[in-house]
Amino acid sequence: MVRRGLWIAAALVVAAVAGYVVYDMRANTSTVPGIGMPADVRLTDHRGRPFTAADLKGKPTAIFFGFTYCPEICPTTLLDMGARLQALGDDADKLNVVFVTIDPERDTPRQLAAYLSSFDPRIRGVSGTPEQIGKMAKGFRVYYRKVETGGGEYTMDHSTAVYLMDAKGRFVGPIGYQEPADRAVASLKRLIAG
């Protein structure tokens, strides 16, 4: 009973923090300075290729932070992103979609590759050391925290927004968790159009 209460309390904290982050970001309708990938962070994608700030430039990006052991939010968001890419048609190829793990201890590039094989193949997964992921999350002002669940097991609390970055790597706004499909696709179309 106590454990269930802790889970509910943790879920409420995550929802409150995520709601504030989305609200705070939506107050800014143009690019927001100071949010983005630090230039000195070097990650590795799920195919073993390097991933740097340069990968967020040249075309717009939708970037999401999560983990492969996530029971609901991450797979739902990845399925939603796949459906949004389908809705964009040929324009989907003008967009980068990136899934950054906040659980690098378990989410190696190999684990990400296995996990992402269930989702749209245009989604690129990235991982790194805990320090690199920490810097990446700080650059995007992403909340995440390891939560022990007993018996040596753990889960992760984390922000749920999809961050939209323009072709110059600047933050322009979020898509909220399970935002209605028409609004999310409209946001992506605006992002692609510049």
The CATH code that applies to domain 2-193 is 3.40.30.10
Domain boundaries, the chain: 2-193
What's the pLDDT at 35?
87
Res 194: pLDDT: 87
Q: What global pTM score does this model have?
A: 0.82
Name the region of 35 (left: φ>0; alpha: ψ -120 to 50; beta: rest). Answer: beta
* Of 35, 12, 13, nearest in space to 24 by CA: 35
pLDDT value of residue 32: 55
Q: What confidence score (pLDDT) does residue 4 get? A: 46
Residues 6+ apart with CB under 8 A from 74: 64, 66, 67, 68, 99
Residue ranges for the chain with pLDDT beneath 70: 1-33
Residue 154, pLDDT score: 96
